[in-house]
Chains A and B, each alone.
Chain A
Amino acid sequence: DAKTTQPTSMDCAEGRAANLPCNHSTISGNEYVYWYRQIHSQGPQYIIHGLKNNETNEMASLIITEDRKSSTLILPHATLRDTAVYYCIVNTGANSKLTFGKGITLSVRP
Chain B
Amino acid sequence: EAQVTQNPRYLITVTGKKLTVTCSQNMNHEYMSWYRQDPGLGLRQIYYSMNVEVTDKGDVPEGYKVSRKEKRNFPLILESPSPNQTSLYFCASSPRVPRRGHYGYTFGSGTRLTVV
Contact = CB atoms under 8 A, between A and B. Distances in A.
A96 to B, nearest CB: 9
B104 A94 contact: yes
Given A94-B95, A97-B48, A102-B42, A46 B110 contact: no
Interface of A is mostly: loop
B103 A44 contact: no
Contacts of A95: 30-31, 50, 94, 96-97
Interface of B is mostly: strand
B94 A94 contact: yes
B58 A97 contact: yes
Nearest to A34: B104
Interface of A: 34, 36, 41-46, 49, 93-95, 97-103
21 contacts: A41-B88, A41-B110, A41-B112, A42-B110, A43-B108, A44-B92, A44-B105, A46-B104, A94-B98, A94-B105, A95-B30, A95-B94, A95-B96, A97-B33, A97-B58, A98-B33, A98-B92, A98-B105, A99-B45, A100-B44, A102-B42
